Amino acid sequence: MIKQNIEEEINNQIQEEFQSAYAYLAMSAWFEENNLGGFASWLKAQWQEEIEHGMKFYNHLIQRDAQPILQDIDKPKVQFDSPLEAFEFALEQEQHITKRINKMYNLAQEEDDYPLKNLLLWFIDEQVEEEEMVQDVIDKLKLVGEDGSGLYLLDREMGERQGQNGKEAEQSEDQK
């Protein structure tokens, strides 16, 4: 049986993951508004990934006969001064999630909750990847600065993330 404090922390994490997803979707809208569709597409893919993360925790509770309790999601930040500011915000969000995952792992260790520890090991690795991806975008944005042609090329590169997912989906459909 899952302990009450563990169940509460997992429910809090579900809210955090959905809050992150909502933030990425708002960021995507800002990029769309600023005619940077590649960035917007990248952020939509990130939005979907965060939803999947929240659902992993949701399903973990279901599998353990515990109650997922969905919580309020706050209005995300919707305006940014630059693409760099938006991605610096995204990095802060990912670092926040990393701290929460690490805190949950410590709690799972204290409570000898092996199923949760096992789930969190995947998230620990995932957060390293998430922070690295966002940092890479920040580094590239710093490199191109305010140069319009550099930003244009980076926007095209960012759009390839979604394009690759779309191609994979098309290939899967063709194989059916």
Residue 60 known to bind ligand:
no
Cα distances from 48 to residues 9, 21, 76, 116, 162, in angstroms, run 22, 7, 16, 23, 11
Residue 157 known to bind ligand:
no
- 123 Cβ contact partners less than 8 Å away, ≥ 6 residues apart: 53, 56, 101
Residue 171 known to bind ligand:
no
C-alpha 80/C-alpha 89 separation (Å) is: 9
Binding residues: 17, 50, 53, 94, 127
Binding residues for Fe cation: 17, 50, 53, 94, 127
